[in-house]
Amino acid sequence: MKWSVSLQAEGDREVTLEEVVELADAVAIHNGIATGMGTTSYGVQMVVEATSTDEAIKLAMPLFTAAVTKAGLPIWPVLTVEAVGDEEEMEWYEEIPDGSHVTDEDPR
């Protein structure tokens, strides 16, 4: 099953746009995205193939560390880790009541 794993690390200085772009490039191979510009943290969301939440996180951690290293960012403590499996996401969508929809219109 595919898992979307989000990881965020926090440190002691502001992350630049260039660093986030390098991090995004480093996780692109894992269908990943990166965040953190202008903050004292950086994070990624990437896709891994695993059989459980624990395995997904276990697989994602070294990929995250490798991407951070490749991007030239400092290794900071990981404060947030979250994994959502395809099946869990499908269950969430099934809970949306029929007739519900999202629009770009202002609800006022």
The stretches in the chain having pLDDT less than 50 are: none
Handedness of CA 59, 61, 65, 71 (dihedral sign): positive
pLDDT value of position 92: 54
pLDDT value of position 95: 63
pLDDT value of position 86: 83
Residue 70 lies in a domain: yes
Residue 63 lies in a domain: yes
Residue 98 lies in a domain: no
pLDDT value of position 57: 97
Residue 65 lies in a domain: yes
Residue 87 lies in a domain: yes
pTM to 2 decimal places: 0.80
pLDDT value of position 78: 97
Count of structural domains within the chain:
1
Residue 100 lies in a domain: no
Q: Could you list the residue range(s) of the whole structural domain that residue 76 is in?
A: 2-92
Which pairs count as long-range contacts for 22-27, CB under 8 Å and 24+ apart, including other chains? 22/70, 22/71, 22/72, 22/73, 23/67, 23/68, 23/71, 23/73, 25/71, 26/66, 26/67, 26/68, 26/70, 26/71, 27/63, 27/64, 27/67
Residue 64 lies in a domain: yes
| Residue 40: CATH number of its domain | 3.30.70.2450
Residue 99 lies in a domain: no
